[in-house]
Amino acid sequence: MRVFVDACVLVSAFLKPGGPSGVFKAEALERQAFSLIISREVLQESTWAVKARRGKAAVRPFLRGLDSDQVEILPAYLSLETFRRWATLVPPRDLHVLAGAFISQADVLVSIDADHILTRSVRNHFPIIVFTPLEFLAWVAKHSPKK
């Protein structure tokens, strides 16, 4: 399963490893049943956020936490022109999240951005399932084969 991850989830996972985003990231990497996908824009946005909150010294440990065979970084910056059809769903600065999820052919988009990504409009009109980290983990638990 391919899971596109919004920058806010990555930052939250780094700042609060025991919180919902941290648990999501740890379980995703531990399970090895799915890969986490991020775009260059998500990587840049999350790196800036970590630097702003924790300082320059925190950037290296943050990036080290993304160094895994299960984390795929899209190879090129996204062209947002193609995604005008979703411009009514999110503000322009968040359009790259939907574009990245779509271009990467993700099965799921995980975000904690309640104001822009986790809206009824996005959930109803974007062609990829959108979850919070906890919703995703609950969905995986419900749909995983029983041992």
For residue 86, the model assigns a pLDDT of 80
Residue extents of the structural domains in the chain: 2-143
Cα dihedral sign, 15-130-105-144 = positive
| pLDDT tens profile 32-48 | 778 899 999 999 999 99
Which token pair is 132? Answer: 């919070």
DSSP secondary structure code for residue 147 in this structure: -
Domain 2-143 -> CATH class: alpha beta
| pLDDT tens profile 48-69 | 999 999 999 999 999 999 988 8
DSSP codes of every residue in 31-81: H-SSEEEE-HHHHHHHHHHHHHHH-GGGHHHHHHTT-STTEEE-SS---GG
| pLDDT tens profile 92-145 | 889 999 999 999 999 999 999 999 999 999 999 999 999 999 999 999 988 877
For residue 109, the model assigns a pLDDT of 98
